[in-house]
Amino acid sequence: MRALQLTRLQALVERVYRMSPFYRKLWDEAGVKPEQVKTLDDIRRFPFTTKDMLRQNYPYGMFAVPLSKIVRLHASSGTMGQSTVVGYTRRDLRIWADMVARVAVQAGVTRRDIAQISFGYGLFTGGFGLHYGLERVGATVLPVSSGNTQRQIQLMQDFGTTVLVGTPSYALHMAEVAEEMGVDTSKLKLRLGLFGAEPWTEEMRSEIEKRWHIKATDNYGLSEIMGPGVAGECEYGGKMHISEDHFFPEVIDPKTGESLPPGEEGELVFTTLTKEGIPLVRYRTRDISSLDYSPCPCGRTTVRMKKVTGRSDDMLIIRGVNVFPSQIEAVLMSIDGVGPQYQIIVDRKGFMDDIEVVVELSKEGFTGSWRDLEALENKVRERLENALSLRPRVKLVEYMSLERSMGKAKRVIDKRRKTTDN
C-alpha cells in the first residue's frame, strides 16, 4: 500500500505543480518542490490547503484541468459560510462511484438490496454520490431525495426498501413520522442504514437502531475531497476503513499544524492521490478523529479512522471550557424521557458566556407530575454538568416543537458570533 501511495503521491505533486497555478504559487512561496517527495513522510514539508483557499479561488481557481474536461460540478452545502465548488472529470466520477460502492459493500449492501436515498439530490454530493455508488454495487436504487417524509415512509412500505441512506438526524425524524403514521417499523423490510454527512454519536446510533430495528452504519466523506465514499464501517463497525489508495490521511494538531503519531486524536488531513478535477494536497478537514493502523478482524488492510467526534471549528469555548456539541448529544441520548431533538444556544450575558440546552420531552417523558418533570430537568442538568464541567441552563420543550431537518441538522446557535462564517 505504501509503495502504491508513494508512486501516486509523486505523480500527483508533479502533475499539480505543472497544471495548477494555485499550487505552483503556494509551493514556490513555501520553497518546496515536487522532486522533494522521496518518501511518504516528505509530504509533511508541504503547506496545508484550507477551505478558505477554496473560497478565495471560487469558483474554478483550484481546478487542475481545463473546464472542458470537467463533466460534473458540485458545491458544498456551505454550512459554515460561502459554498465551495468542486469539479469532476469522467475518471473522477468513475473512481467516486467505485469508492462509494466499496463503502456500501463494507457496510453490508448487496445487489439484492433496495436502497432508498433520502439525501438531497443536487449540488450536495450526498444524493448523487450514493446513487451511483449503489448502482455500481447493483442494488436497486430509489432516488427519493430528502423531504416529503410521509411519502418516504409510504414508499418504504410499498417498495420494500431494505437500505436507508441519509443523514442520521433525518433518519431519526423519519422514525418519528413513521410512529405518528402508526407504522410498525419492526414489520418493515428495512435492515440496514448508511448514514453520514454530519457528526453523530454512538448514543444516536443506538436510538436509530432501536427505532428502526436496523443496523445503522457510519460512513465518511466531504465534498472537497470527493463526497461520500472516503471511508466507511465494515461489518465489525466502530471504526471506518479509509480508501487510502485514493485518499492519503494524516492527523495533525489543529493548533500547531504538527503531525501526530497514529492513535492520537487530532484534525484529519487528506491528500487526494488520484483526483484530476480538483486535486488537493494536505487538505484540512476540520474533522476531529484518529487513525488506527492495527489489523481489523474483517481482514481488510486499510487504515481505519475513528468516528468523527466533532469539528475543530464547531468546538465551543464557553467560559474557557472546550465543549463539543457531540458531548451534549451523548448525554441527552442516554436519558429516558428527553430527546432525540435538541438545540444548544450560546450567548453572552455581560462578560459571561451562557449556555442553554433546549431539549424536547419525549412522548413518554411526560407523566403529568410536576415532581417527575423537575426530577427530569435536574437529571439532565446534572449529567450535563458532569460531562462538560460547567453548568448549563436546561429548558424542556414540547415534543415536536423544535425544527426537524431534512439534511444536516442545525444544533448550535451561537449568538456571540456576529456572522456564521468563521
Decide whether 1 or 181 has the Cβ nearer to another protein: 181
Query: Of 285, 396, 291, 255, whose CA–CA distance to 337 is shortest?
Result: 396
Cα(131)–Cα(125) distance, integer angstroms: 10
Given the complex with another protein, which of 117 and 361 has the nearer CB atom? 361
109/27 Cα distance (integer angstroms) = 42
Comparing CA positions, the residue from 352, 98, 364, 69 lying closest to residue 245 is: 98
Closest distance to another protein from the beta carbon of 366 (Å) = 5
State whether residue 390 is helix, strand or coil.
Answer: coil
What DSSP line would sit under 238-283, residue for residue? SEEEE-TTTEEEEEE-TTT--B--TT--EEEEEEESS-SSS--SSE
Q: How far is the CB of 365 from another protein (least distance, A)?
A: 8
Tell me the closest approach of the beta carbon of residue 373 to another protein, in angstroms.
7
Which residue pairs, CB below 8 angstroms and at least 24 apart, start in 251-256? 251/289, 251/290, 251/291, 252/284, 254/286, 254/288, 254/312
Strands 70-75 and 85-89: what pairing?
antiparallel
The least CB distance from residue 397 to another protein, in Å, is 5
CB of 403 to another protein, least distance (A): 14
Pair 213, 190: CB distance under 8 Å: yes
Whole-number minimum distance, CB 377 to another protein, in Å? 9
165/396 with CB nearer another protein: 396
Residue type at 66? Answer: P
Nearer to another protein by C-beta: 29 or 398?
398
* Residue with Cβ nearer another protein (400 or 412): 400
Nearer to another protein, 206 or 401 (CB): 401
User: Which residue type sits at 13?
Assistant: V
H/E stretch holding 360: strand 352-361
Residue nearer to another protein on the CB measure, 158 or 364: 364
What is the nearest approach in angstroms of another protein to the Cβ of residue 360? Answer: 9
Nearer Cβ to another protein (159/399)? 399
**Based on CB atoms, which residue is closest to another protein, 233 or 360?**
360
Where is 154: in which H helix or E strand?
helix 149-159
- Copy the grid coordinates of residue 12: 500527483
Q: CB-wise, 31 or 182, nearer to another protein?
A: 182
* Closest of 125, 166, 124, 123 to residue 142, by C-alpha: 166
Q: Minimum Å distance from CB 178 to another protein?
A: 15
Q: Would you state the cell numbers that stand for residue 258, as one nine-digit string?
A: 504538527
Enumerate the β-bridge partners of residue 142. 116
Separation between Cα atoms, residue 46 and residue 141, nearest integer Å: 41
- Residue closest to 212 by CA, chosen among 196, 195, 233, 191: 191
Q: Which is nearer to another protein, 187 or 371 (CB)?
A: 371
Residues in the chain: 422
Q: How far is the CB of 339 from another protein (least distance, A)?
A: 13
State the nearest-atom distance from the C-beta of 379 to another protein, in Å: 16
The residues of the shown chain that bind another protein, judged by CB under 8 A, are: 361, 363, 365-371, 373, 395-401
Minimum separation from the CB atom of position 354 to another protein (A): 15
CA distance 92 to 77: 20
End-to-end alpha carbon distance in the chain:
37
Amino acid (1-letter code) at residue 223: S
